Amino acid sequence: MANEHVLVVGAGQMGAGIAQVALTAGLRVTLVDVAKDAVDKGAGRIRSGLGKLREKGKLDEGAERAALGRLTTATSARDVRDVDVAIEAATENEELKKRIFQDLDAVVRPGGVLATNTSSIPITRIAAATKRPDAVIGMHFMNPVPVMQLVELIRGAATSDATFDRTRSLSQAMGKTVDYARSPAEDFASLTVEFETDDGTTVIGEATTSWSFVGAGLRLSAELLGPEYSMAWNSLDSPLKLFFSRAVQGQAGEDLVEKQNAEIGLMPVVAGEAAVYGYEAEDRHFVRAFLGREAPELTFHDGLDVVKLLMTAYMSAEQGRTLDFPPQGLAAFVPAVAKGTWKPGP
């Protein structure tokens, strides 16, 4: 990968971060943004980031100068030549990205990679704007890029093995070691629990959700993506971001979330959520319980029972049958997804 030319489109926080890690990996980088002040600001972010690495002893002065010497800027992707890999990190607007990829298609060398940092737009739709969809791949970095050791590689319908392998090698060269292609999170899950109350009434409870196994990567950040929703969190970038489109229909799960701002593609997170949703009374109860003024309504053992139910759900999914609770072997059971061996059927 040494001396390869990487074109990064979008000089915001993500684009500048991607450019910085590419420079520190020894690659030549051209940073592009349509506005001159934006690209200058992005270059300034890179200089600042490299300077902080030097101050922390993670980069010597010679390496800093060499990295900055490999950086060039431009205001149009079509003005750039001899590109080996292009990484698009522009605004999450599908039509804009398609226009950018038409430009990238014209400047990336034959056999090169056209990558997008999108977190919500299908790779196949973006690839359709090019003449070589086999070269298009999702290369989703986590924010802030220089800090987070995570990159998610997402194939489109036509993404070739050669494109995937080359992008994975580039990710590793840039110091990104987590690849969800090797350790995928679970997608959609459904759980049904049937139980009998103290008075003999049979009750059926059902839960539907997207579950993610909390591994080394997901403890830092995670994203849940679906056809009409997305959610992301990052322990180094705490604000929660949500999206729900008006196309979501149904009577359960995410369909119940208020969509008052869906017209503009936004789902606001409510300020003062504890008060809005009535959690303050629960908080006060737990404070009084902690002070010994009243008995807690929920205890550690209640939480343990919830974990046992979830582990039983995993066991049921793996065995493909309904299980009595608690099943034999529950205490020693480790879900296949936690061991990295989960192979869900079609």
Same-domain check for residues 104 and 219 = no
Proportion of the chain above pLDDT 90, given as a percent: 40
Q: What is the pLDDT of residue 242?
A: 59
Q: What is the pLDDT of residue 148?
A: 78
Given a contact cutoff of 8 angstroms between Cβ atoms, the answer to whether 156 and 122 are in contact is yes
Beta bridge partners of 29: 6, 71
Q: What is the pLDDT of residue 26?
A: 93
Same-domain check for residues 147 and 255 = no
H-assigned helices in the chain = 13-24, 36-55, 61-69, 94-107, 123-127, 161-173, 273-276, 279-290, 300-319, 336-339
SS3 184: coil
Same-domain check for residues 97 and 53 = yes
Same-domain check for residues 135 and 51 = yes
Residues 171-213 pLDDT 10s: 989 988 644 444 444 444 567 788 888 888 887 776 654 444 3
Residues 202-213 pLDDT 10s: 877 766 544 443
At 18, the pLDDT band (50, 70, 90 cuts) reads very high
Same-domain check for residues 61 and 150 = yes
Q: What is the pLDDT of residue 261?
A: 40
Count of structural domains within the chain: 3
Q: What is the pLDDT of residue 180?
A: 46
Q: What is the pLDDT of residue 298?
A: 83
Q: Is the pTM of this model over 0.75?
A: no
Average pLDDT over the chain, rounded to whole? 80
Selection from 62, 79, 69 nearest residue 46 by Cα? 69
Which domain range does residue 80 map to? Answer: 5-173
Residues 244-292 pLDDT 10s: 555 656 555 444 444 434 433 444 455 565 665 567 888 888 899 889 9
Instruction: Indicate whether 16 belongs to any domain.
Output: yes
**Helix axes of 61-69 and 13-24: crossing angle, nearest 10 degrees:** 120
Residues 324-341 pLDDT 10s: 999 999 999 998 878 878
Residues 286-330 pLDDT 10s: 899 889 989 988 888 988 998 898 899 889 888 888 899 999 999
Same-domain check for residues 119 and 237 = no
Residues 317-344 as b/e (b if ≥16 CB within 10 A, e otherwise) read bbeeeeeeeeeeeeeeeebebeeeebee
Beta bridge partners of 208: 190
Same-domain check for residues 216 and 117 = no
